[in-house]
Amino acid sequence: MENVISMSYGNGGKKTSMIIEEMIIPALGNDKLNLLGDGALLRTSGEIAFSSDSFVIYPYFFPGGDIGKLSVCGTVNDLLMCGSIPKYLSLSFILEEGFKIEDLKKIISSIKNTAEEAGIQIVTGDTKVVDRGHGHGIYINTAGIGEKVKGINLGKKRIKIKDKVILTGSIGNHGISILCARENLLESKIKSDCAPLNKIAYTIFKYGEEVKILRDPTRGGAATTLKEFVEGENFSIEIEEEKIPVDREVIGACELLGLDPLYIANEGKIIAIVSPEVSDDIIKDLRNIGCNEASIIGEVVDYTSSKVLLKTLFGGRRILDKITYDLLPRIC
How many separate domains does the chain show? 2
310 and 183 assigned to the same domain: yes
**Domain-embedded: residue 330:** no
Judge if 97 and 166 occupy the same domain: no
Q: Do residues 121 and 31 share a domain?
A: yes
Q: Last residue of some domain: 114, 148, 182?
A: 148
Using CA atoms, how far residue 228 sits from 159, 205, 259, in Å, is: 13, 22, 21
User: Looking at the structure, do residues 75 and 93 belong to the same domain, yes or no?
Assistant: yes
Whole-number Å distance between alpha carbons of 124 and 86? 15
Same domain, 50 and 96: yes
Whether 262 and 300 share a structural domain: yes
Range of the domain at 46: 7-148
Last-in-domain residue among 98, 126, 148? 148
Q: Which residues of 219-251 are buried (b: 16+ CB within 10 A; e: fewer)?
A: bbbbbbbbbebbeeeebbbbbbbeebbbbebbe
**Helix (H, G, I), strand (E, B), or coil: what is residue 165?**
strand
Residue at 47 is within a domain: yes
Q: Are residues 41 and 69 in the same domain?
A: yes
pLDDT of the chain, 332 residues: tens digit per residue: 689 999 999 989 999 999 999 999 999 999 999 999 999 999 888 899 999 999 999 999 999 999 999 999 999 999 999 999 999 999 999 999 999 999 999 999 999 999 999 999 999 999 999 999 998 999 999 999 999 999 999 999 999 999 999 999 999 999 999 998 887 777 778 999 999 999 999 999 999 999 999 999 999 999 999 999 999 999 999 999 999 999 999 999 999 989 999 999 999 999 999 999 999 999 999 999 999 999 999 999 999 999 999 999 999 999 999 988 777 778 88
Q: Domain containing 200 — which CATH number?
A: 3.90.650.10
Q: Whole-structure pTM over 0.75, yes or no?
A: yes
Q: Which residues fall within 8 angstroms of residue 58, CB to CB, at 6 or more apart?
A: 136, 137, 182, 330
Q: Does 253 reside within a domain?
A: yes
Q: Are residues 189 and 222 in the same domain?
A: yes
What whole-number distance in Å separates Cα of residue 92 and Cα of residue 55?
10
Identify whether residues 292 and 162 lie together within a single domain. Answer: yes
Query: Could you tell me if 11 and 144 lie in one domain?
Result: yes
Q: Residue 124: inside a domain, yes or no? A: yes
Q: Is residue 2 part of a domain?
A: no
Residues 125 and 258 in one domain: no
162 and 259 part of one domain: yes
- Residue 75's domain is classified under what CATH number? 3.30.1330.10
